[in-house]
Chains A and B, each alone.
Chain A
Amino acid sequence: MARSWRDPSEQALARVLLAPAFALLALIVVYPVGRLLLTSLYDDSLTSGHAARFVGLENFQLVWEDPSFWSALINTLLIVLFTVPGAMVAGMLLALVANMPFRRKWPVRLALLIPWALPLAFVGLIAGWFFQSDYGIVNDVLRPFVSQKIIWFNSPTLSFAAMCMAIVWKTSSFVAMILLAGLQTIPADVYEAARVDGASKWQQFWQVTLPLLRPSIVVAAIFRTITALQTFDIPATMTRGGPGDATSTLAMYIHQTTVDFLDIGYGSALAVVMFAISMVVSTIYLRNLRTGN
């Protein structure tokens, strides 16, 4: 096999066969990312009245000095910090429930799918109504326990908490599905062996399930972290970033800069920074996965 790979005709064939995939990749990944990098080096604002001009790394200098960027970045990192572990724990519990030996499996699986299948913006709107101080169901439920209606969106902390709850609710089912798939690959005889050795249910979970589930957990965590870094729809529809800019995220700031403010160059620079952060995080995870194996 190794020898035939070195055969020039085989190599040429491989190239030909791989060419379409490379072309496609170039078209949908390399070109847009390259274009983004290029645009980030220009002062290109449609409201300025002048044509785009090359400014080198000046946009990145401005990003560094921009308080709105830092506040959006911190909010985004806090969302990662709270909602990734939140969704992992909730997703794990859901997956364990769904993996129980029900006689009919589909109703549980279907229930698991529903939050995942709902559009993000829809979840944001619904959650916004849930937490609305006058009409919201959350305050209705809390009525017997609190003296005055809680105005969730008046407080930066409560707004942020409400938003994180909505995100965890929405994303934990995705985590659960990945973990459920992982759980089903664990052979039953491993548990049997553990039982024979006298392991309790709790020990089985920590010593058998969790280690064997590790690849699935890492995959779910990568996806969840990257989507958490890109959080946009739920705060955009639920809190509009308020109060003030307490729940405004990096993705919202990029959208606002490019679409609302039409500052294409600066928005591209912000997007490059976000892209770099996503790359760093994924690399760390992937490395962790590889060494783990």
Chain B
Amino acid sequence: MIRRLGLAALASLVFAQVASAQTNLNVFVSPQQQPQLMRKAFDAYEAAHPGVKITIQSGGTTSELQAAYLNTVMSAKDSNLDIFLLDIVRPAQFAAANWTVPLNDQVGDAAALMKTYLPAYADADQVDGKLVALPAFADAMFLYYRKDLLEKYNVAVPKTWAEAAAAAKKIQEGEHNPDLQGVNFQGAPIEGTVCTFLLPYWSQGKNLVKDGALTWDKPAALKSFAVWKGMVDSGAAPRNSAEIITEQTRKDFQAGKSVFAVLWSYGWAQFQGPDSAVKDKVGVAVLPSVDGGQPVSCIGGWQWGVSAYSTHKKESIDLIRYMSSMDVSRQLAVEGSLMPVFPSLYQDPAVLKATPWFANALPVVTAAKSRPVTARYNEVSDIIRTSTNAVLAGSVGAEEAASQMEARLRRVLR
């Protein structure tokens, strides 16, 4: 009896040892970033690393809500989160607040490693020489169009916004459907509207910020407002564009309510889904430019960072190196149509079999521009989106909005 008890005690001691060797990693992945796909990759990692258990924490359906959540957790210096998936506009702020573990010494030659990724991510994830995060998957904005409608009216895929507006009007008139929207884009006071403003602005060859300093070009800003507001006023874009959030664009286009959609790459997989009214009727193209301008896209994408307050930094770094590897990038592309962060994967047979249009996406992603990289990005974003929203709603004139924007941006980006 005593011996048996002793054995049981020994067994429980051994068990306790094993249990304490177990590392629990808490990873923040928002519900929009396909946590089920990440879970599959985590399962594979757990199988290969028996001592590691990964738990996904989720919350916040928009980038702003996620940022608000992470800001709260991180300002409280909470050690509960080990790893987080960050929108491309966040690493600079996280670096300034010292919320992430610098990865330079953990990845060997950081510069060489970052060269293997798309250039936009090398820029976004390295702040003042510090490697802050590693790329998870890429994203950019595209012009989705109704192949069937463009063919029916013998309209070419538009190269400029003026062509897009004309095509939209032609198809709307031909269809005799007052509810058919032309160009659906985001104008609500949300993060996506920052890109809305910047697309025609950049297309004129202008930058908003260069080397941390404001390079404001008022005529370019007015032109950008004119492109969007002109489409709203002419009916080529929905009259309620100032209400439209990213998911609304996706839903409207998916329901067959719009001819064109200005949207991120995630729309594609949904438009091909079983409950889509536009399955097999969708084309994807480079976004139009302003007249005489160059086509340009807004880069998005998500990054893995390790919390500075994590109690398992080493294990976390190992995990994010795996999650930012080529194998996982390929897997995410094949299974979730998430754009790869490695240029070579845009020619990968498995990837192209799943999402054929990625074959033409590499030049877009390579040339896509980054929203301003600054620690005070949230303020910059707020200025751009509220002004653009007010112009689209018609509550503030373009001239006044541009002046206010400049004055406010100058205060933030000194």
Contacts and interface: CB of A to CB of B under 8 A. Distances in A.
Interface of A: 46-49, 132-134, 149, 151, 153-156, 240-246, 256, 259-262, 264
A260 B188 CA distance: 18
Interface in B192-235: none
A81 B72 CA distance: 33
B69 to A, nearest CB: 9
Contacts of B382: 256, 260-261
B96 A48 contact: yes
Nearest to B69: A259
B56 interface: no
A33 B4 CA distance: 60
A30 B214 CA distance: 43
A47 B376 contact: yes
B389 interface: yes
Contact of A156 (B75, B189, B243, B395): B395
A260 B377 CA distance: 10
Contacts of A246: 390, 395
Given A242-B386, A242-B393, A245-B386, A49 B96 contact: yes
Interface of B: 64, 67-68, 71-72, 75, 93, 96-97, 188-190, 238-240, 242-243, 375-376, 378-379, 382, 386-387, 389-390, 392-396, 401
A134 B239 CA distance: 10
Contacts of B394: 154-155
B393 A155 contact: yes
A47 B395 contact: no
Nearest to B390: A244
A240 B67 CA distance: 16
A46 B389 CA distance: 28
Given A133-B240, A154-B240, A240-B189, A46 B393 contact: no
B240 A151 contact: yes
Given A47-B97, A49-B375, A242-B189, A153 B243 contact: yes
Of B379, B392, B393, B396, which is in contact with the most chain A CB atoms at under 10 Å from its CB?
B393
Nearest to B97: A46
B378 A240 contact: no
Nearest to A49: B96
B365 to A, nearest CB: 28
Interface of A is mostly: loop
Given A151-B239, A260-B68, A260-B71, A244 B97 contact: no
B78 to A, nearest CB: 14
A248 B67 CA distance: 19
Contacts of B401: 244
B242 A154 contact: yes
B390 A240 contact: no
Contact of B389 (A49, A133, A242): A242
A241 B71 contact: no
Nearest to A50: B96
Given A260-B382, A261-B378, A244 B71 contact: no
Nearest to A246: B395
Contacts of A151: 239-240, 242-243, 393
Nearest to A132: B243
A46 B395 contact: no
A72 B246 CA distance: 26
A47 B240 contact: no
A142 to B, nearest CB: 15
A46 B190 contact: no
Contacts of B238: 134
B395 A154 contact: yes
Nearest to B375: A47
A46 B93 CA distance: 8
Contacts of A240: 188-190
A244 B240 contact: no
A189 B67 CA distance: 61
B393 A47 contact: no
B101 to A, nearest CB: 17
B64 A153 contact: no
Contacts of A154: 239-240, 242-243, 392-395
A156 B375 CA distance: 31
Contact of A260 (B240, B378, B387, B392): B378
A155 B389 CA distance: 11
A261 B390 contact: no
A260 B93 contact: no
B389 A243 contact: yes
A111 B190 CA distance: 36
Contact of A46 (B75, B188, B243): B75
A243 B242 contact: yes
14 contacts: A47-B97, A132-B243, A133-B239, A133-B240, A151-B240, A155-B395, A156-B395, A240-B190, A260-B71, A260-B378, A261-B379, A261-B382, A262-B378, A264-B75
Contacts of B67: 260
Of A133, A134, A155, which is in contact with the most chain B CB atoms at under 10 Å from its CB?
A134
A264 B76 CA distance: 12
B403 to A, nearest CB: 12
Contact of A47 (B93, B188, B389): B93
A262 B389 contact: no
Nearest to B379: A261
Nearest to A47: B375
A244 B394 CA distance: 10
B404 to A, nearest CB: 9
A243 B394 CA distance: 9
Contacts of B379: 261
Closest 4 CB pairs of A and B: A244-B390, A243-B393, A154-B393, A47-B375
A259 to B, nearest CB: 5
Given A46-B97, A47-B376, A243-B189, 8 more contacts: A47-B96, A149-B239, A240-B189, A243-B242, A243-B390, A244-B401, A246-B390, A262-B75
B206 to A, nearest CB: 23
A134 B386 contact: no
Contacts of A264: 75
Nearest to B74: A46
A242 B71 contact: no
A46 B376 CA distance: 9
